[in-house]
Amino acid sequence: MYEITVGVKGMACEMCEAHINETIRKNFNVEKVTSSHKKNETVILSKVPLSEAQVKAAIDPTGYEVTSFACADYVKKPGFFARLFGGGCC
């Protein structure tokens, strides 16, 4: 699994986030996508790596601007209780 973090300039509200999320879902087969207009960021979880050119080609026609791109292996973070209690029962 890969975590792709994309800087996106131009998002101003939750509807902008939804527009970016919908664009990513329409163009790629992804596990999860979340966007934040406050962070100017979209995070994509995908089984296959995506290239910056692919993501930029999908987002550019929407009027938003890709400002940064990073693709890394996804490392699942432990849940709240696992962090609080150590994650094991024995």
Reference 61, options 31, 32, 19; nearest CA is: 19
- pTM score over 0.75: yes
**Residue 21's closest CA among 54, 75, 62?**
62
Q: Report pLDDT digits (tens) over 25-56.
A: 999 999 999 999 999 999 999 999 999 999 99
Residue 46 lies in a domain: yes
Q: Report yes or no on 87 lying in a domain.
A: no
Structural element, H or E, at residue 19:
helix 14-27
Structural domain total, the chain: 1
Cα–Cα distance between 51 and 76 in angstroms, integer? Answer: 21
In a domain, 83, yes or no: no
Q: Say if residue 69's pLDDT is above 80.
A: yes
Q: Tell whether 82 is covered by a domain.
A: no
Domain that includes residue 20, residue range: 2-73
Q: Do the domain assignments include residue 65?
A: yes
pLDDT category of residue 83 using cuts at 50, 70 and 90: low
CATH number at residue 34: 3.30.70.100
In a domain, 80, yes or no: no
pLDDT band at 82 (very low <50, low <70, confident <90, very high): low
Mean of pLDDT over the chain: 92
pLDDT range class, residue 6, cuts 50, 70, 90 = very high
